[in-house]
Amino acid sequence: MNNAKTGLAATLALAVGLAAVGPAHSDPVDDTLVIDGELEMVTRVKAPEGHPFDEVISGWHYRTDETRALEADTFQNPGMLYTQRGEEVWNTVEGEAGKSCASCHEDASASMKGVGAHYPKWNAAAGKPFNLELQINDCRVSNMQAEPYKFDDPDQKALVTFVKHQSLGMPMQIDLSEGEMQQWWERGKERYYLRMGQLNLACATCHENYNGNYIRADHLSQGNVNGFPTYRLKQANMVSLHNRFRGCIRDTRAEQPKAFSDDLMALEVYVTWRGTGLSIETPAVRQ
Amino acid sequence: MLKIGLAAFGACLPMSIPAGAQTASDATAETSMTGVPGDPDTGRKILADRKLGNCLACHTVSDMSEHPFQGDVGPTLDGVANRWAPEQLRAILVDAKMMFGDQTIMPGFYTLKVGVDVAEPFQGERILTAQQVEDVVAYLTTLTKDPN
């Protein structure tokens, strides 16, 4: 932390010194996200105690006018197709027990409202934090006697999107007082500042020190997770959070940790905390 | 040896540059690392190539305006030859951390001081070869037009 702070200060000092020769930094767009003209989203919020920023800002503010507009309109948002597919999966019986998600949880709009806003959550039986993917797999194995989904199975992405969407507009907030969540937070924080790969970059190098700048065509955001799974226009597909983490890590030319590995689960806990208070935007639309 | 532009530029960065520049000129050769002069045309290509320098990810160069989507993470390289002597440009490329400090985002292009968990194909490898560094330096020394 100390290190990172000094680094940031040095970077800022340098940036000021170079202002005469460097192009201007582009601020996040000043705009308000209202879904279908009805649901006003919290996309900027005061950062929690101990956060390196004063204000937490959704990645939505860093996208173009067209991309922002797509997310604001449910009919145009391509991610909504996956939400619909997720609803089908929710109602589909699978596994030896002859059950669907709906057999136990019934109407998702009631039973799942708010649920996705509070993950990852401590799972005492597993002795580690569970994200929605792991929780769903646990339900499939224990309650449905079905196979767990493989990472990024299209049905896994659709179902997670559907469940998260039931919390649309609700503030993201995880409970760090349960079990060993605080230790996982610490571990995630360490990882966030760890320089990796041949390019020698940490998450913080890009998302803490340079958000607001362009890296090629990409307007660097704070790297918040409140929109996941996210529809990425570049890939014309839904992208899960661990897929995004792995992509960012690959770009540093580092070995990519496996999805749901302890490293990535710790990062998910920490980065989710960094976005505390932002509205769940799933399915968000990004570049 | 130092150009006037550099002195003026150094004055706005009292904490890092003079010390860094000193170390670098002590530590690196004044002339080509390979004994072969760099080729500016090849250097220009390396700047744009996403698998090599990918310098345009972070820097703008108006001489390379045929490449869209130049980043602004670092300062423009326009006029960079007026701000740094060739041996300093070489030192920046070899290991930017020696020049700008540990926390710089700019990768070291000819160093094995890298981050953890380097992916298999890149293990023990430098990003550029010594000759490629020379080529890039040769191109950078042609950038004498200051930004407006």
Average pLDDT in chain B: 84
Q: Give CA–CA dist B55/B93, Å, rounded.
A: 10
Contact call for B119 and A21, based on CB within 8 A: no
Domain ranges across chain A: 27-77+170-286, 80-165
Residues of B in contact with A213 (CB under 8 A): 71-73
- B75 → chain A, closest CA residue: A22
| Residue B24 scores a pLDDT above 70 | no
Q: What integer is the mean pLDDT of A23-50?
A: 91
Angle among Cα A28, A58, A112 to the nearest 5 degrees reads: 160
pLDDT tens, position by position, A227-249: 999 999 999 999 999 999 999 99
Whether pLDDT at B25 is above 60? no
Q: For the domain A27-77+170-286, what is the CATH code?
A: 1.10.760.10
Q: What is the pLDDT of residues B50-87, one digit of tens each?
A: 999 999 999 999 999 999 999 999 999 999 999 999 99
What pLDDT, on a 0 to 100 scale, did the predictor assign at position A13? Answer: 37
Cite the beta strand spans of chain A per DSSP E.
34-35, 39-40, 44-46, 55-57, 121-123, 128-130, 214-215, 218-219, 230-232, 237-239, 284-286
pLDDT in tens, A175-228: 999 999 999 999 999 999 999 999 999 999 999 999 999 999 999 999 999 999
Contact B119 A210 (CB under 8 A): no
Is 70 exceeded by the pLDDT of residue B8?
no
**How large is the greatest C-alpha to C-alpha distance in chain A, in angstroms?**
68
Residue B26 banded pLDDT, cuts 50, 70, 90? very low
Q: Which stretch of A6-20, A266-280, B21-35 has the lowest confidence by average pLDDT?
A: A6-20
Q: Does B125 touch chain A (CB under 8 A)?
A: yes
ipTM beyond cut 0.85: yes
Q: Which of A22-31, A266-275, B26-35, B74-83 has the lowest mean pLDDT?
A: B26-35
- Distance to chain A for B117, nearest Cα, Å: 5
pLDDT, position A273: 98
The whole-number pLDDT of residue A6 equals: 37
Mean pLDDT over residues B14-43, rounded?
A: 62
Beta carbons within 8 Å of B22's beta carbon, 6+ residues apart: none
* A80-165 matches A27-77+170-286 in CATH topology: yes
Q: Is B118–A197 a contact, with Cβ atoms under 8 angstroms apart?
A: yes
B100:A14 CB<8 A: yes
What chain B holds in terms of domains, given with CATH numbers, is 6-140 (1.10.760.10)
Q: Specify the pairing of strand A214-215 against strand A218-219.
A: antiparallel
**Catalytic residue list of A:** 248
Phi and psi angles of residue B33, each rounded to the nearest 5 degrees, phi first: -70, -20
- Which is higher by pLDDT, A51 or B21? A51
Look at residue A52 in the predicted model and tell me its pLDDT.
Answer: 98
| Mean local confidence (pLDDT), A254-266 | 98
B133 vs B109: CA distance, rounded Å: 8
**Which of B89, B92, B69 is CA-nearest to residue B142?**
B89
The CA distances from residue A205 to A144, A221, A222, A243, B119, in Å, are: 43, 12, 11, 20, 19
CA distance A181 to B71: 38
CB A282 within 8 A of CB A164: yes
Distance (Å, whole) CA A165 – CA A112: 9
- Contact between B127 and A198 using a beta-carbon 8 Å cutoff: yes
Residue A34 three-state SS: strand
Query: Torsions phi, psi of A122, nearest 5?
Result: -65, 130
Predicted confidence band at A25 (pLDDT cuts at 50, 70, 90)?
Answer: low
**The predicted structure's pLDDT at residue B48:** 97
- At B14 the pLDDT is 29
Joined together, the tokens standing for residue B87 give: 């041996």
Residue A24 has pLDDT above 60, yes or no: no
pLDDT band for position B148 (cuts 50, 70, 90): confident
Whether B5 and chain A come into contact, CB under 8 Å, resolves to no
The answer to whether A212 and A27 have CB atoms below 8 angstroms apart is yes
Coil, helix or strand at residue A238: strand
Among A46-50, A77-81, B6-10, B106-110, the range scoring the smallest mean pLDDT is: B6-10
Angle (nearest 5°) at CA A205 between A255 and B125: 40
Q: Contact, A132 vs A119, CB < 8 A?
A: yes
What distance in Å separates the CA atoms of residue B117 and residue A257, rounded to the nearest whole number?
A: 9
Question: pLDDT tens, A134-189?
Answer: 999 999 999 999 999 999 999 999 999 999 999 999 999 999 999 999 999 999 99
- Give the domain A80-165 fold: Cytochrome Bc1 Complex; Chain D, domain 2 (1.10.760)
Could you tell me the pLDDT band of residue B32, with boundaries at 50, 70 and 90? confident
Nearest by CB to B101, from A10, A23, A253: name it. Answer: A10
pLDDT above 70: percentage of residues in chain A: 91
Whole-angstrom distance, CA of residue A85 vs CA of residue A157 = 10
Residue A38 clears pLDDT 90, i.e. is over it: yes
Please give the residue that has the higher pLDDT: either A189 or A1. A189
Interface test with A, best of B62, B72, B111 (most A CBs within 10 A): B72
| Top-confidence residue, A19 or B44 | B44
Beta strand A284-286 pairing with A214-215: unpaired
How much is the average pLDDT of A76-101? 98
